[in-house]
């Protein structure tokens, strides 16, 4: 982050601040580094202190920020002091009253030095004071105190007898302004100093630093890589080098890489091994155990098959690293032994036999059990298959929905919750391994996808149907109880569920046209009014459709589209999101047409005329050709009749580009109509007939979108 610099200020100073603490949780470190940089920059701006650049870094045991090009003094400030009202400040002859004299005297100035201030409450006397800026060194302690006090950790704690909160107990403070210690002490009594501590085990002796450059040099020499990105680069390269020792390739999971980078100060990659017989267990079980529980990287061969090796990232160097490796291997073997046990035990009872066990698993207190959800999913998934005209998949869809959640009661998923769905896919097939069994198994395996904005989509059609039904059931249930996301709060991840529905429906592979309203209505009916007492059926579905539109608008914005495009389509109240998407794409291309601005303006004019005349509140009836007396209105009528046929056919084929292109042909006749025709004719029959004609023009455009909602620069 940088700030433009005023060359009139002394700006060659630097500030270094390190907060040393106990281990910061890995998931919080990256955001904390960014937050510290941003908040320091904002604090300096608010204090009126010019600076060149702010940079920040962090390791598990420290957060550091440094500022270069820092002004030695705060900017000169101007303060406005309001005095008495002007009516009270002077008498009828214009002489200052006691109120004016007293105000001036209290600030050591004459009445003639005062100015007049106009405000929404009247006119007042005012004193404009110019205050010299304070030295930066004197202002830094308060800035530091405020930053520590207001730092937005997801979770924070108190320790000892202190009252302040931070993510972990603060143990040391390094704070230097041009090599001089900043006079700063935390409420718990930790005082700023010149010293910095290196690696906890390899270099625990405090080191004295005086500059940013010496700070960075001291940390590197004392086994601390300060930059998180640099630690990740080291891990990436070192892990691959270790994998190559066994002719393998490391599986470089970016989330795991970032987590390991936030767990260590001095990354060292070590290669470990586990017994090859564990490869008989599904590979997802092995990789999940390594990644989720031990933070290890998996190793595969050139064809992507898992090898009996892993790469662990240590936080220190040892003369004999085999000591650490043996420890890593011992812990992993214990985990894999548990996995092997559950793998054998779970298969003794088929997935179908576990359906009734779901009665013991609560989906949501008011929404019932997972057993009840299973029956709803069976019906909903089958309905999706019917809507998509896939009769051959209806039976498989019902099976997939019914047994999708049964692996929740297996030992493997209880031990490794990350494997839900995946294990169901392994446990479902019976001995005959028919094509339908394999279809259902794959659908169960895929139905939790996508789990986030960047996650992959189900690859099979049945998996996508089941994933869609699962999310719709959840959304209807929570909205039916009135548990709607508000502001930034979304404890039930309903926004993610809605985005999942959108991504499943709108992608290059499927592009399914699924009207949401009947699907939502069926989902509501499967719960029943007695369960969903929060809202009635219509209000629940209306709220959900609006929610989907909001998520789609956000999705479009992320992809570079403006909100007015979806507003124009949303005005039609469609419930086929794929159709909405295609219309939005066509409107976006329509923006490039030379007649775009003129047509938008014409539509806005027509909309304004109709809305102001209040004709939309009552039926107008059809256009009466016998009441069209002027050539301009007759030509418009004939043009609309011709365009309507083309637009109707194009819309039926979802060729919205052709529909919009045809509508551009109306521009000339509509322009002429407004030039030559007085819409608000004195004769009521003519006036209403012209309203009807304009309504028909507007309706022709609204077969694609409400073009009057579009904007242009």
Sheet strands side by side (includes 249-250): 249-250, 297-300, 306-314, 268-273
* pLDDT score of 6: 36
d(CA 696, CA 609): 13
Strands (DSSP E) contained in 163-322 are 170-177, 180-181, 192-193, 195-197, 206-208, 249-250, 268-273, 297-300, 306-314
Domain at 584-709, CATH from 3.40.640.10, 1.10.730.10, 1.10.15.40, 1.10.3720.10? 1.10.730.10
Residue of 566, 547, 433, 536 lying closest to 499 (CA atoms): 547
Looking at the DSSP assignment, which residues form a beta bridge with residue 18?
64, 174
Architecture of domain 351-560: Orthogonal Bundle (1.10)
376 and 445 Cβ atoms separated by less than 8 Å: no
Q: Write the Ramachandran bin of 189: left for phi over 0, alpha for psi from -120 to 50, otherwise beta.
A: left
> What are the pLDDT digits (tens) for 100-110?
889 889 888 88
d(CA 484, CA 494): 8
294 and 332 Cβ atoms separated by less than 8 Å: yes
> What are the pLDDT digits (tens) for 558-598?
888 888 888 899 889 899 999 999 999 999 999 888 888 88
CB atoms within 10 A of CB 416: 22
Looking at the DSSP assignment, which residues form a beta bridge with residue 147?
none
Same-fold call for 351-560 versus 584-709: no
CB-facing half-sphere around the CA of 501: CA atoms within 13 A: 32
DSSP summary character for residue 707:
G
255 and 232 Cβ atoms separated by less than 8 Å: no
Domain ranges of the chain: 13-73+135-221, 78-130, 228-346, 351-560, 584-709
CB atoms within 10 A of CB 363: 19
**Greater pLDDT, 448 or 570:** 448
* pLDDT score of 391: 94
DSSP summary character for residue 187:
T
pTM: 0.80
* pLDDT score of 619: 63
Instruction: Go through the chain and tell me how many residues it has.
Output: 713
* pLDDT score of 431: 60
**DSSP string for residues in 293-309:** IT-PEEEE-TTSPEEEE
The contacts of residue 108 (CB under 8 Å, 6+ apart) are none
3-state secondary structure string across 354-398 = HHHHHHHCEEECCCEEHHHHHHHHHHHHHHHHHHCCCHHHHHHHH
Question: pLDDT at residue 3 above 60?
Answer: no
């Amino acid at each position: 982050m940088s700030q433009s610099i005023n060359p009139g200020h002394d700006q060659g100073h630097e500030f270094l601040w390190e907060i040393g603490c106990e281990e910061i949780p890995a998931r919080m470190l990256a955001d904390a580094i960014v937050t510290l940089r941003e908040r320091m920059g904002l604090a300096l701006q608010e204090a009126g202190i010019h600076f060149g650049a702010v940079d920040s870094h962090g390791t598990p045991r420290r957060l550091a920020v440094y500022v270069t090009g820092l002004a030695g003094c705060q900017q000169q400030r101007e303060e406005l002091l309001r005095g008495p009202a002007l009516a009270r400040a002077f008498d009828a002859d214009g002489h200052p009253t006691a109120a004016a004299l007293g105000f001036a005297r209290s600030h050591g100035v004459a009445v003639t030095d005062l100015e007049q201030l106009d405000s929404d409450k009247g006119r007042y006397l005012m004193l404009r004071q110019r205050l010299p800026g304070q030295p930066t060194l004197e202002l830094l302690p308060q800035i530091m105190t405020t930053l520590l006090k207001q730092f937005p950790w997801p979770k924070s704690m108190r320790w000892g007898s202190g009252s302040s909160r931070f993510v972990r107990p603060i143990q040391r403070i390094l704070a230097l302004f041009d090599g001089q210690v900043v006079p700063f002490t935390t409420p718990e009594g930790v005082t700023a100093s010149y010293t910095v501590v290196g690696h906890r085990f390899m270099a625990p002796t405090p080191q004295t630093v005086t500059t940013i450059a010496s700070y960075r040099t001291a940390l590197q020499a004392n086994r601390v890589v300060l930059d998180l990105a640099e630690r990740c680069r080291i891990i990436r390269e070192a892990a691959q080098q270790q994998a190559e020792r066994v002719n393998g390739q490391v599986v470089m999971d970016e989330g795991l890489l970032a987590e390991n980078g936030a767990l260590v100060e001095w990354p060292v990659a070590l290669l470990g091994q586990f017994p090859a017989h564990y490869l008989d267990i599904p590979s997802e079980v092995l990789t999940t155990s390594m990644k989720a529980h031990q933070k290890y990287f998996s190793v595969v061969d050139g064809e992507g098959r898992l090898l009996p090796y892993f790469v662990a990232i240590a936080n220190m160097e040892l003369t004999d690293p085999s000591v650490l490796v043996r420890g890593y291997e011992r812990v992993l073997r214990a985990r894999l032994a548990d996995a092997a046990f559950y793998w054998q035990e779970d298969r003794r009872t088929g997935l179908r036999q576990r359906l009734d066990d779901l009665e013991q698993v609560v989906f949501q207190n008011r929404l019932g059990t997972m057993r009840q959800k299973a029956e709803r999913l069976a019906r909903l998934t089958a309905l999706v298959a019917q809507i998509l005209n896939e009769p051959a998949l209806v039976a498989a869809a019902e099976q997939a929905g019914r047994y999708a959640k049964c692996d929740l009661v297996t030992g493997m998923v209880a031990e490794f919750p990350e494997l839900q769905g995946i294990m169901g896919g392994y446990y479902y097939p019976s001995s005959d391994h028919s094509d339908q069994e394999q279809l259902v198994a794959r659908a169960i395996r895929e139905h939790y996808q996508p789990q986030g904005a960047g996650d992959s989509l189900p690859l099979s059609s049945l998996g996508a149907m089941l994933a869609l039904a699962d999310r719709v059931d959840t959304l209807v249930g929570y909205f039916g109880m009135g548990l709607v996301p508000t502001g930034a709060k979304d404890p039930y991840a309903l926004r993610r569920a809605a985005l999942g529905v959108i991504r499943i429906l709108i992608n290059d592979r499927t592009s399914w046209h699924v009207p949401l309203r009947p699907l939502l209505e069926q989902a509501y009916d499967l719960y029943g009014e007695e369960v969903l007492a929060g809202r009635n059926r219509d209000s629940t579905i209306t709220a959900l459709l609006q929610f989907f539109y909001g998520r789609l608008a956000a999705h479009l914005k992320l992809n570079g589209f403006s909100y007015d495009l979806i507003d124009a389509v949303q005005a039609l109240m469609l419930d086929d999101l794929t159709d909405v998407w295609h219309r939005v794409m066509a409107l976006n291309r329509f923006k490039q047409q030379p007649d775009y601005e003129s047509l938008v303006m014409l539509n806005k004019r027509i909309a304004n005329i109709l809305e102001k005349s209040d004709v939309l509140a009552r039926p107008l009836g059809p256009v009466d050709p016998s009441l069209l007396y002027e050539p301009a209105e007759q030509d418009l009528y004939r043009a609309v009749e011709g365009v309507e046929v083309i637009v109707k056919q194009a819309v039926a084929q979802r060729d919205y580009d052709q529909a919009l292109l045809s509508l551009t042909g109306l521009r000339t006749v509509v322009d002429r109509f407004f030039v030559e025709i007085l819409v608000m004719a004195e004769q009521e029959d003519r006036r209403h007939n012209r309203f009807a004609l304009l309504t028909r023009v507007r309706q022709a455009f609204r077969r694609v979108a409400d073009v009057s909602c579009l904007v242009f620069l």
